[in-house]
């Protein structure tokens, strides 16, 4: 299984998580490590049963593939730029 982190912790992330879980029902493919979000108030909390790992600084000491879970176009572009700056793989 491949480790993956969902970017964002809003409604879009819920849809992405559902998709990954559905894929895993057919063939165990993704190990969802948790979610990364810019909102410090969410850091260390749970999104369902998954941890919100922190902000993009989490990637300074961890590696995982990422999948976008942000619905807002402006925020999605900002998150994509930050992921690209860190050399993260989608």
Q: 90 pLDDT exceeds 90?
A: no
Q: Which tokens hold the place of 16?
A: 């992405």
Long-range contacts of 42-51 (CB under 8 A, 24+ apart): 42/9, 47/9, 47/13, 47/17, 48/17, 50/6, 50/17
Q: 32 pLDDT exceeds 90?
A: yes
Q: 89 pLDDT exceeds 90?
A: no
Give the pLDDT confidence of 39-68 residue by residue, as tens digits.
999 999 999 999 999 999 999 999 999 999
Give the pLDDT confidence of 7-24 residue by residue, as tens digits.
999 999 999 999 999 999
Answer yes or no: are the C-beta atoms of 90 and 60 closer than 8 Å: no
* Confidence at residue 56, expressed as pLDDT on a 0 to 100 scale: 94
Which are the contacts of 15, defined by CB distance < 8 A and separation ≥ 6?
A: 69
């Amino acid at each position: 299984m491949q480790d993956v982190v969902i970017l964002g912790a809003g409604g879009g992330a819920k849809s992405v998580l559902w998709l990954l879980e559905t894929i895993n029902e057919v063939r165990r493919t993704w190990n969802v490590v948790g979610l990364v979000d810019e909102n410090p108030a969410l850091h260390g909390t749970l999104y369902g049963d998954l941890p919100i790992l922190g902000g993009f600084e989490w990637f300074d000491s961890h590696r995982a593939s990422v999948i976008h879970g942000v619905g807002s176009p402006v925020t999605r572009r900002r998150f994509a730029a930050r992921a690209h700056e860190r050399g993260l793989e989608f």
